[in-house]
């Protein structure tokens, strides 16, 4: 996957969710991370969307900043650091350690007011761990939160641009058997 394309797509989805709120979403990617990596797009999407959806949920005004930078790069592995920063309600310091545990929702009023399951961050922590990464949070009540995490991803050596991929796909003749019982779907 191309990290910068994937993140731009995630941010576009997130922007749709902020249309009713007074929030700007900004993506700041270090030039140094514009390369392809071997990673499961579904997992990477899930990590970012869980964190960004929380940022949107707990922020009424201001901005959400998603950033990514390179910590270290060898020939095969990129060690990356990302952050999702918001200007929302923040998390009380005594609750910070517990929010990565399953079914933990920070404040007793949170479930009443915002709903949710208390599972999102526990899942994010496990997924980040799957890529040998760690996640941390810093937060100030009334000012906002920063969720920062690292990932170690294998660098894709065959780094064709997406344009090349497209050319190859359009010149390959493909045959597919599609089985569909609904006439409208058949036509589609
Ligand atoms: P939930 O489904 O309840 O949002 P999460 O595991 O994603 O579960 O989050 C756990 C708790 O951490 C939330 O209930 C909330 O109290 C707190 N939290 C998570 N992200 C933020 C954030 N960006 N700003 C403020 N509080 C947050």
Q: Are 97 and 138 in contact (CB under 8 A)?
A: no
Q: Are 164 and 36 in contact (CB under 8 A)?
A: no
CB of 86 closer than 6 angstroms to any ligand 1 atom: yes
Residue 82, classified by CB atoms within 10 Å of its CB into exposed (0-12), middle (13-18) or buried (19+), is buried
The model's pLDDT over 140-182, given as tens digits with 9 standing for 90+, comes to 999 999 999 999 999 987 655 455 554 444 555 667 777 888 7
DSSP conformational letter for 12: H
- Ligand 1: residue whose CA is nearest its atom 20: 54
Residue 70 to residue 150: CA distance in whole angstroms: 10
Greater confidence (119 vs 154) lies with 154
Residue 117 to residue 111: CA distance in whole angstroms: 8
- Ligand 1: residue whose CA is nearest its atom 25: 90
Pocket test for ligand 1, best of 93, 118, 135 (most atoms within 8 A of CB): 118
CB of 88 closer than 6 angstroms to any ligand 1 atom: yes
pTM of the model: 0.82
Whether 116 has a pLDDT exceeding 60, the answer reads yes
């Amino acid at each position: 996957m191309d990290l910068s394309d994937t993140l731009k797509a995630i941010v576009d989805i997130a922007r749709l969710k902020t249309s009713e709120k007074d929030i700007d979403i900004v993506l700041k990617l270090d030039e140094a991370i514009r390369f392809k990596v071997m990673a499961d797009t579904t997992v990477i999407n899930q990590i970012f969307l869980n964190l960004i959806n929380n940022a949107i949920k707990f922020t009424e005004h201001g901005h959400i900043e998603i950033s990514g930078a390179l910590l270290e790069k060898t020939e095969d592995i990129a060690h990356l650091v990302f952050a999702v920063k918001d200007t929302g309600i923040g998390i009380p310091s005594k609750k910070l350690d517990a929010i990565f545990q399953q079914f933990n929702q920070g404040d007793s009023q949170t479930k009443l007011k915002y709903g949710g399951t208390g599972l999102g961050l526990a899942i994010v922590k496990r997924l980040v761990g799957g890529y040998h990464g760690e996640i941390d949070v810093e937060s100030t009540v009334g000012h906002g939160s920063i969720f920062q995490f690292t990932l170690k991803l294998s660098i894709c050596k065959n780094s064709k641009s997406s344009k090349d991929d497209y050319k190859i796909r359009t010149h390959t003749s493909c045959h597919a058997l599609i089985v569909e019982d609904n006439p409208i779907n058949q036509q589609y």
